[in-house]
């Protein structure tokens, strides 16, 4: 099957709300285009190129639409003290943390171009992360009943290294994944990550015992996503 072209953008360090607004604008445009295409003939169809956004965020906690606010264990005063913000979002999943040293990925793509259902899409996101981590010598896997990428799922030291929470409408996606590379894990102490009280959180830096070049991880991750999704990421 021919690869699908997707435009890649690295937004660098960007406030969560600014990135969310940027996503929403693209997402809304694509959803409108798909709605319009349903009324057009085959030779009038408008194309959707798709976007893959990578970025990092300043310290922020985000709560998914199915999440419980009591999984945020601190009040506004303490949020200010640790220079963090808090947002309720329209993605799936519960609460998570974003911060410097973490690769946050926001694919805004048309799943119909990839012949994918939402569950298959999430599985491919997980697989892309798993293959990326393997390239750096970290063995990871899925955990039954929980999205994301995990380590040591068969014992009491189970810990998450990548969170995933997405939204889809008319098969257009937004939100995405957060891979802990050199993330300050202390910030996870103030939440029940993704609603779990009995599981830990980790990073590539913690597992490998050294700082990791985040640009190297991005390069590998882009290659793995291209392979697994059948996409061509281009600037």
Active site members: 194
What's the longest Cα–Cα distance across the chain? 57
Q: How far apart are CA 65 and CA 10, in angstroms?
A: 26
Q: How many CB atoms lie within 10 A of CB 180?
A: 27
Distance CA 119, CA 116 (A): 8
d(CA 203, CA 83): 21
> What are the distances in angstroms from CA 35 to CA 24, 46, 49, 170, 186?
16, 10, 16, 8, 44
Question: How many angstroms separate the Cα of 30 from the Cα of each of 27, 88, 180?
Answer: 5, 23, 29
Note whether 231 and 4 are within 8 A (CB): yes
How far is 146 from 194, CA to CA, in rounded Å? Answer: 9
Antiparallel, parallel or unpaired: β 200-201 and 172-180? unpaired
Residues in the chain: 235
Element (H, E) at 30: helix 16-37
The vertex-160 CA angle with 72 and 184, nearest 5°, equals 65
């Amino acid at each position: 099957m021919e690869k699908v072209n997707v435009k890649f953008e690295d937004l660098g360090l960007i406030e969560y709300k600014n990135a969310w607004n940027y996503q929403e604008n693209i997402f809304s445009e694509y959803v409108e285009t798909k709605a319009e295409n349903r009324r057009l003939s085959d030779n009038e169809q408008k194309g959707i190129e798709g976007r893959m956004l990578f970025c990092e965020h300043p310290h922020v906690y985000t709560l998914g639409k199915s999440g419980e606010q009591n999984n945020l264990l601190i009040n506004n005063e303490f949020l200010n003290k640790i220079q963090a913000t808090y947002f309720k979002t329209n993605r799936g999943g519960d609460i998570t943390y974003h911060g410097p040293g973490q690769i946050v990925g926001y694919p805004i793509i048309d799943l119909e171009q990839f012949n994918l259902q939402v569950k298959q899409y999430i599985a491919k996101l997980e697989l892309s992360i798993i293959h990326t981590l393997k390239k750096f010598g970290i063995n990871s896997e899925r955990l039954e009943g929980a999205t994301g990428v995990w380590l040591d799922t068969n014992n009491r030291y189970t810990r998450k290294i990548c969170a995933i929470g997405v939204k889809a409408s008319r098969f257009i996606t937004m939100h995405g994944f957060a891979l802990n590379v050199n993330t300050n894990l202390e910030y996870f102490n103030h939440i029940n990550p993704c609603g779990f009280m009995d599981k830990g959180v980790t990073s590539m830096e913690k597992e490998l015992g050294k700082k990791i070049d985040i640009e190297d991880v991005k390069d590998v991750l882009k290659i793995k996503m291209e392979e697994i999704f059948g996409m061509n990421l281009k600037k």
